[in-house]
Amino acid sequence: MSYPHLLIIDDDAMTRETLTGLLAESGYEIQCAASGAVGIELASRLNPDVVLLDVMMPGMDGFEVCRLLRKDPHLAEIPIIMITALDDQDSRLMGLEAGADDFLSKPFNSVELEIRLRGLRQVARYRHLREEREKLQTAHQLLQIQNEELRMLSGKVISVQETERRHLAMELHDEIGQQLTALKIMLINLVNYQGEEYQIERKKAINITEQLLNQVREMTLNLRPTMLDDLGLIAALYWFFNRFTQQTRIKVIHNIDPLDDRRFPDVIETTIFRIIQEALTNIARHAKVKEVMVTLSIEPHLLRLSVVDSGKGFIVNQVSMGYSTGISSMRERVALAGGKFNIQSTPGEGTIIEAEFSLPEME
Amino acid sequence: MPITVILADDHKLVRQGIKSMLQSQKDISVVGEASDGVEALKLVADLKPDVILMDLMMPNLNGIETAYQIRQQGYKTRVVFLSMHANASYAVRALHNGALGYVIKDADFSEILAAIQNAVEGKRYLSKAISDEVLEMLLSGEGEKKGSLESLSPRERQVLQMIAEGNTNLAIADKLSLSVRTVESHRARVMFKLRITSQAELVRFAIQQGLIDA
């Protein structure tokens, strides 16, 4: 078992010796410092259990030493006893303010000294416990806030999901269902036709089937491009850029090599794809530009994405509802995938969207 | 001797449809059918057909992987893909893994026949619907026009030079008394204006323009 450490900081050699003598039998391991500066250095090196600190010292006085010790996160908990003149009320007040725990006056009395030291170690334990409790409370509050955010987010996810389902159901009913019904009727009636008429009706049925195929293909791509799963992010982006350019006439300058077949974790691939999709959709709607630049830089442990345009821009905190939901959903997506998100926009100069994801070790 | 063909597709109906169309051809004989890549690979090993007409995405072993294995294991069987995906990315990936033909499932039947005929002769064949897109993809990135140094503001030029000299964003921010965010946004703007998408290219550009020494 090791003895409790006691550090005495006093410029007066006599006092140091007196205290050392008084405590010789008390089972303390004692170190001494003859100035405030040395005292602080020793304290941070030894991390003592108690400090005895003289008020009146040349250079750095006791109050200053006390304040500095309390400021250091590793030393803030150390019990400090200040040595003052017996009737010096002002010094005691200043000492309390500087963070002293107790006071001692000359002439020293060994019994009083020991009782005070013991009491102080209890104070330190109490202070430590209280701090732990406060930490726990803070953590608890943080957890509650996060829970609340999570609840809001999942509520939002559910409502988005419902909207998408409604849209999908409508499309299935209106587009696919109607066409299939028409096709079925045609096939049933086909027996009534002969010769050239039969060929004409048959051709019509084939045409409807082709249209249906195209619609299903389009719908699937809009929901989730199969390429993202089959070939990966890079191939899917390449395809998406071409399609975007065809639909909007906005050119996408990018550094995607369509033959690059590297793959990344599922959630990162999906997140990046969706963010680019959202960003480009916003640009097509609002930015009024002819070109946009998308760069994906792939480093061994990092995937960095940037989408830059030189369009109208906006003030990030003052955007209309629909657009800001887009931005916050991008931000949330990135956060959920464990990445960092940043958006900068200047009216008249354009917008920069950046996201960064760290990649797990590739085998 | 008719051309021997194996069909591999996990959709039985599609397989039946293609088979009945192929069987009407005198010079083609369908000698086997598989419903996934593993089966297909086994049939290729057992029957050594001239051509395998295969779906792209199948369970257990997908078509692209199967094509790769067929080539890897040295079989002479030519691979023609028959795919739902009217998309160059798939086609290019297929060609890269040893396929000779890529035909869209709803293409004219004549396209499927042409792909088989070509494959037997060791020639490539792409569905009309995607051949342009495939060529564009393979030629992409060539002849892109770069922006000019004149399009940059003095500050952006300064940042470009410092980037090319190897300074990090942090170092540049420090030297110019700007925030790192501002430097990042200058960097992004510079790259956008110059139509440059990588750091290496940026350095090359700076050297070409005489901003820094090679």
CATH value at residue B163 = 1.10.10.10
User: Are residues B171 and B203 located together in one domain of the fold?
Assistant: yes
B185 within domain boundaries:
yes
- The single-letter DSSP state of residue B196 is -
Q: Could B93 and A231 be called an inter-chain contact, meaning their C-beta atoms sit closer than 8 Å?
A: yes
Minimal CA–CA distance to A331: which of A316, A317, A341? A341
Contact of B81 with chain A, judged by CB distance below 8 Å, is answered with: no
- Count of helices and strands (H, E) across chain B: 10, 6
User: Are residues B133 and B54 located together in one domain of the fold?
Assistant: yes
Q: What is the pLDDT of residue A39?
A: 92
A308, A310, A342, A343, best to mutate vs chain B, most B CBs in 10 Å: A308
User: Are residues B50 and B104 located together in one domain of the fold?
Assistant: yes
Contact assessment for residue B9 and residue B82, using Cβ atoms and an 8 Å cutoff: yes
Torsions phi, psi for B51 (to 5 deg)? -135, 140
Portion 19-58 of A in contact with B at CB < 8 A: none
User: Are residues B88 and B154 located together in one domain of the fold?
Assistant: no
* Close Cβ partners of A283 (under 8 Å, ≥ 6 residues apart): A250, A289, A292, A307, A309, A311, A351
Q: What is the pLDDT of residue B112?
A: 95
Minimal CA–CA distance to A293: which of A214, A357, A350, A234? A350
How many structural domains comprise chain B?
2
Of B80, B108, B139, which residue sits at a domain end? B139
User: Are residues B79 and B183 located together in one domain of the fold?
Assistant: no
SS3 A261: coil
* Gap between the Cα atoms of A282 and B130, Å rounded: 29
Task: For residue B199, list chain A residues with Cβ-Cβ distance below 8 A.
Answer: 297
For this complex, say whether ipTM is above 0.85: no
Could you tell me the residue ranges of all domains in chain A? 5-108, 143-222, 225-358
Alpha-helical (H) ranges within A224-294 are 226-230, 233-248, 266-282
Task: For residue B85, list chain A residues with Cβ-Cβ distance below 8 A.
Answer: 226-227
Segment among A15-29, B9-23, B74-88, B130-144 with least mean pLDDT:
B130-144
* Gap between the Cα atoms of B43 and B52, Å rounded: 10
* Close Cβ partners of A329 (under 8 Å, ≥ 6 residues apart): A278
Chain B nearest-CA distance from A163, in A, is 28
B28 within domain boundaries:
yes
What token pair was written down for A341? 């998100």
What is the fold of A225-358?
Heat Shock Protein 90 (3.30.565)
Contact of A344 with chain B, judged by CB distance below 8 Å, is answered with: yes
What is the maximum alpha-carbon separation in chain A? 128
More confidently predicted of B135 and B126: B126
User: Are residues B98 and B185 located together in one domain of the fold?
Assistant: no
Helix (H) or strand (E) holding A104: strand A102-105
Q: Could B197 and A253 be called an inter-chain contact, meaning their C-beta atoms sit closer than 8 Å?
A: yes
Contact assessment for residue A226 and residue A269, using Cβ atoms and an 8 Å cutoff: no
**CATH classification of A5-108 is 3.30.70.980, yes or no?**
no
Residue corresponding to tokens 């299935």: A172
Contact assessment for residue B134 and residue A239, using Cβ atoms and an 8 Å cutoff: no
* Gap between the Cα atoms of A170 and A165, Å rounded: 8
Q: Tens digit of pLDDT per residue, chain A (363 long)?
A: 467 788 999 998 888 888 888 887 777 889 999 999 999 999 988 888 889 999 989 889 999 999 999 988 888 888 899 988 767 788 888 888 998 988 888 778 878 888 888 887 777 777 778 888 889 999 999 888 888 877 877 777 778 788 888 888 888 888 888 889 989 999 999 999 999 999 999 999 999 998 898 888 888 888 888 889 988 999 899 889 988 998 899 999 888 877 788 899 999 999 999 999 999 998 998 888 899 999 998 888 899 999 999 888 887 766 654 556 678 888 888 988 899 999 988 888 889 999 999 988 754
For residue A155, the tally of other CB atoms under 10 A from its CB is 10
Q: What is the pLDDT of residue A325?
A: 65
Q: In what order do the strands lie in the sheet with A102-105?
A: A29-33, A5-9, A50-54, A80-84, A102-105
User: For residue A212, what is the nearest residue in chain B, using CA coordinates?
Assistant: B106
What token pair was written down for B81? 């893909």
The CATH number assigned to the domain holding B61 equals 3.40.50.2300
Task: For residue A352, list chain B residues with Cβ-Cβ distance below 8 A.
Answer: 184-185, 188-189
Q: Is the pLDDT of residue B110 over 90?
A: yes
Contact assessment for residue B171 and residue A267, using Cβ atoms and an 8 Å cutoff: no
User: Are residues B7 and B84 located together in one domain of the fold?
Assistant: yes
Contact assessment for residue A283 and residue A250, using Cβ atoms and an 8 Å cutoff: yes
B213 within domain boundaries:
no
Q: For the whole model, what pTM was predicted? A: 0.64
A229, A242, A294, best to mutate vs chain B, most B CBs in 10 Å: A242
B195 within domain boundaries:
yes
* Gap between the Cα atoms of A261 and A229, Å rounded: 12
User: For a pLDDT cut of 90, what percent of chain B falls above it?
Assistant: 51
* Gap between the Cα atoms of A231 and B93, Å rounded: 8
Q: What is the pLDDT of residue A320?
A: 55
- pLDDT band for position B101 (50/70/90)? very high
B111 within domain boundaries:
yes
For residue B75, the tally of other CB atoms under 10 A from its CB is 16
Q: What is the pLDDT of residue A76?
A: 84
Distance of CA A29 to the CA centre of its chain: 46
Q: How far is CA A30 from each of CA A23, A33, A182, B20, rounded to the nearest angstrom? A: 9, 10, 98, 99
- Given the DSSP bridges, would you call strands B51-54 and B78-83 parallel, antiparallel or unpaired? parallel
* Gap between the Cα atoms of B201 and A60, Å rounded: 58
User: Are residues B161 and B121 located together in one domain of the fold?
Assistant: no
User: Are residues B17 and B113 located together in one domain of the fold?
Assistant: yes
Contact assessment for residue A287 and residue A350, using Cβ atoms and an 8 Å cutoff: yes
Segment among A13-22, B82-91, B135-144 with least mean pLDDT:
B135-144
User: Are residues B202 and B96 located together in one domain of the fold?
Assistant: no
Structural domain boundaries, residue B162: 149-208
**Buried b vs exposed e over B122-135: b needs ≥16 C-beta within 10 Å?**
eeebbbeebeebbe
Of B87, B108, B139, which residue sits at a domain end? B139
B202 within domain boundaries:
yes
Q: What is the pLDDT of residue A21?
A: 85
User: Are residues B114 and B166 located together in one domain of the fold?
Assistant: no
Contact assessment for residue A269 and residue A232, using Cβ atoms and an 8 Å cutoff: yes
* Gap between the Cα atoms of A18 and A16, Å rounded: 6
User: Are residues B154 and B197 located together in one domain of the fold?
Assistant: yes
A208, A219, A233, A238, best to mutate vs chain B, most B CBs in 10 Å: A238
Of B114, B139, B164, which residue sits at a domain end? B139
